[in-house]
Chains A and B, each alone.
Chain A
Amino acid sequence: MHELLTPKSGEKHLLLGNEAIVRGALEGNVRFVAAYPGTPSSEIIDRFYQIGPDAGVYVEYSVNEKISVETAGAAAVSGVRSLCSMKHVGLNVAADAFMTLAYVGVKAGMVMVVADDPSLHSSQNEQDNRYYAKMGNVPMLEPTTPEEARKMTLEALKISETFQIPCMLRTTTRVNHCRGPVTLGDLPTDAPSGEFKKDPFNLVVIPMVGRKLRLALLEKVAKLQEEADRSPFNFTEGQGKWGIITSGVSYLYVKDAVRDLGIEDKVKILKLGFTFPHPKGLIRNFLEGLDKLLVVEELEPFLEEAVRMTAQEAGLPVEVAGKGAQLIPRAFELDAVKVKRALQSFFGVSYEPPQVFAVPQLPMRPPNLCPGCPHRATYYSVKKVFGEDAIYPSDIGCYTLGVLPPLKMADFLICMGSGVSSSGGFSKVLDQPVVSFIGDSTFFHSGITGLVNAVSHDHRFLLVIMDNGTTAMTGHQPHPGIELTPQGKITPKVSLENLVRGCGVERVFTVNPLQVQKTQDVLQNLRESMKEPGVSVLISKSPCPLYENRMLHKKTKVVFQVDASSCDLCKRCLTELGCPAFVWERSASGQECIRINESLCSGCSVCSQICKSIKPKRVGEGKGGNE
């Protein structure tokens, strides 16, 4: 049985914040889960996918976040508790549904987990999604630890159901990917069945309905504000004339900082967990009698603005600070040292920050496309045919790593699906050829609409759909076009090629990028045909080798070797292909050579097709280790 389905309450398990959210949702009787994966939120939907059948929970990998909010919203409107999860930028995609679902509301509890990524560990920006709660007038909870994530998921469901509005559970990477002890609660046994009561004048947002719902929403927010004032997730600690208001993981940094500085007897802390609507009454009471107050939060001055407003409204003379002036930085994650420095400066306490060792310049270790990755082969061939001058818009996925040398095959990227749509724009204002890259999962997520737009406006570019049969970057999640499952090969539910043709594209070709010459021949023809206006599509199809190995337990039978006697050290393998299995070496006598690391080589054979000095070698059983 999966750890998350342990029926015994009271047991302590070391869970990721994301797993604790799953457990909380199970304890809260969530029966419908929908999400598109996105780091740092992915493990939520992944764990649900693993346990869904055993837990009696319907689980779907929706094609994008907007759809996950809409499907999960429908379940909750029908009286079935639901959850959807996404990374911060996912809510941008889902924002349209989010903003109006808040008006329409829900009947059963619905929790929307939204995971922010301060420090951009795996994201394109650092946006603070707490403002979405404020903009949407949606209640929001912010957990600090995995244990609190479990409890708050339960509470979010309760709030949502009581106030008939979706509730946002806003996390950050250090909550999602922190592991800590979680005490399990009881799992329910009853499974509610859905029931939909027709009520179009509350559920169909034509303007007259929307106007009424807008007023009802504002009333809900007023009541939620009282709820926030009463929430046990908002509490005070300590005594003193100095105050700190904080939330999320920042609370932990504050706790360490206050103790390390030895100012426990001087500082009063207000730890906020229910952060929207702002618990204004609580904040006002907290501010009374304080001399100075520091707001410690990551990213934007979200709480700070509320605190300043509350102080102004109440006419309190307390000195409030937070972002700016060498105090709490607005960019990137906080840590205990940053907080100690801020406390030192604001409260005037003594602190000797640690001396940090300097490190000499070291070779960089950037992430890289794996050995045998078919994307590398695609990039290689496209570059051979289209050269350095073409514009290469890219998209979001493993293949974005193609931006790095030596491939350097990404020129523009803003968000999921932007590769397709921006290519249309480039093609209308530039004379150079435009070749756009998008992965299969991203294409389903938000590439299709861009393609339809491009076809209808005669944009002139080549779209390369890099179809590796999975959502590789976030951990190999399925999507509508997959052919490979744990059970073996299947016919995909949605055929990419038919879909592309259905969008009106006439020049559609499918190649296996591991067949280098054939791929380049097709690309050459496409290049010729691009003299005519219109969109061409190349589906470059070959499975992600990591995924294929995991699913089919495929063993490497052949590895490749450089024949030193015929190698002329042209280094094209390094400077053009850049497979990480290749190693450039200089012997003690100063002689150069190029070698292939056999334990890294996946046997894709691409290098041997571009260099005659690279030869195959059969390997025995056992390559690949024990995991």
Chain B
Amino acid sequence: MTQAKEAFKAMRIFFTGVGGQGTLLATRLVGEAALEEGLSVAMSEIHGMAQRGGVVESSVVVGDVFSPTIPDGEADILMAFEPLEAVRALPKCNPKTMVISSTIPLVPFTVATGQSTYPDVEELRKMTEEKVGRLLWVDAMALAKQAGSDRASNIVMVGILAGTGCLPISKQSWQGALKKILPGRILEVNRKAFELGFKAGEESGK
């Protein structure tokens, strides 16, 4: 059940991912949907250096908040497009934070060359779960493939966020935002991806 707009105060959503995963597009989608719904919204993105295979961080604040960035400990929601990055972003969270994380590792270069080891994914899950309020640990890639493109994981993730109903944004506004920011040729695949995510998000609350 989507949160009632009247009771809604504010939500700070922190996004983290790896360059090339579509983190900024997902961020934009959440922002556009909030705007479409008539909520007050501000976003912050980091461009440039971060995108060459490094970590990409961005944020969306919806409702009665002024700062576009999120200080440590103040994220209400963490959207992590990669499990290692979910743990790296834990300082942004607090014991009430909801974390939505993709389970599919993207191995950093330092690991690929054998300089360091990628932690066990199950360990990463435990580390996250024991600290935060709620964890949705989802194989977004599988749903994206099901929708027809493994590149649509980012949209699956946003679908999950939408499906949890923690933002007072109607389905119609989400769909309007999708149409607005995605070019026609990839819209259909991404709509499917969003829907699959949405369903997973809805079911997670049952």
Contact = CB atoms under 8 A, between A and B. Distances in A.
Contacts of B113: 406, 574-575, 578, 582, 584
A356 B91 contact: yes
Interface stretch (B63-71, B134-142, B158-166): B63-71
A232 interface: no
Interface in B1-57: 18-19, 28, 31-32, 35, 40-55
A367 B44 contact: no
B45 A365 contact: no
A369 B52 contact: yes
A48 B84 CA distance: 38
Contacts of B47: 39-40, 42-43, 122, 177, 475
A338 B67 CA distance: 12
A42 B49 CA distance: 13
B48 A473 contact: yes
Contact of B186 (A357, A578, A626): A626
Contacts of B109: 365-366, 368, 578, 580
A211 interface: no
Nearest to B97: A357
A256 B66 CA distance: 6
B52 A367 contact: yes
Given A584-B113, A625-B149, A356 B73 contact: yes
A353 B50 contact: no
Contact of B52 (A249, A255, A398, A474): A398
Interface stretch (B114-122, B167-175, B195-203): B114-122
Nearest to A571: B114
A360 to B, nearest CB: 8
A367 B20 CA distance: 11
A12 interface: yes
B67 A625 contact: no
B100 interface: no
B118 A354 contact: no
A180 B41 contact: yes
A362 interface: yes
Interface in A567-602: 571, 574-575, 578, 580, 582-584
Interface in A107-137: 121-122
A354 B94 contact: yes
Contacts of B67: 249, 252-253, 255-256, 335-336
Interface in B82-130: 84-85, 87-88, 90-91, 93-94, 107-119, 127
Residue from B44, B88, B90 having most chain A Cβ neighbours under 10 A:
B44
A439 to B, nearest CB: 14
Given A39-B47, A357-B90, A367-B53, A180 B108 contact: no
Nearest to A473: B48
B46 A121 contact: yes
Interface string A311-330: 00000000000000000000
Nearest to A361: B116
A391 to B, nearest CB: 25
Interface residues of B, number: 61
A256 B91 contact: no
Interface in A447-477: 473-475
A473 B19 CA distance: 13
Contact of B49 (A363, A367, A583): A367
A14 B41 contact: yes
Nearest to B51: A367
A626 B84 CA distance: 26
B189 interface: yes
Given A354-B73, A625-B149, A626-B186, A249 B68 contact: yes
Given A366-B54, A368-B109, A174 B44 contact: yes
A364 interface: yes
Chain A CB within 10 A, most for which of B18, B45, B49, B54: B49
Contacts of A256: 65-67
A229 interface: no
A145 interface: yes
B71 A367 contact: no
Question: Taking each of B31, B52, B67, B113, which has the highest tally of chain A beta carbons within 10 Å of its own beta carbon?
Answer: B67
A181 interface: yes
Given A177-B45, A179-B44, 5 more contacts: A354-B72, A354-B74, A356-B72, A475-B47, A625-B150
Question: Sorted from nearest, which 5 A-B pairs have the closest CB atoms?
Answer: A354-B73, A367-B54, A122-B48, A39-B48, A337-B71
25 contacts: A14-B43, A122-B48, A174-B69, A177-B45, A178-B43, A249-B68, A252-B68, A255-B66, A255-B67, A335-B69, A360-B127, A362-B87, A362-B119, A365-B84, A365-B85, A365-B110, A367-B52, A368-B54, A369-B52, A370-B52, A474-B48, A578-B109, A583-B107, A625-B149, A626-B151
Interface of A: 12, 14, 16, 39-40, 42-43, 121-122, 145, 173-174, 177-181, 249, 251-253, 255-256, 333, 335-338, 353-360, 362-370, 398, 401, 405-406, 473-475, 571, 574-575, 578, 580, 582-584, 625-627
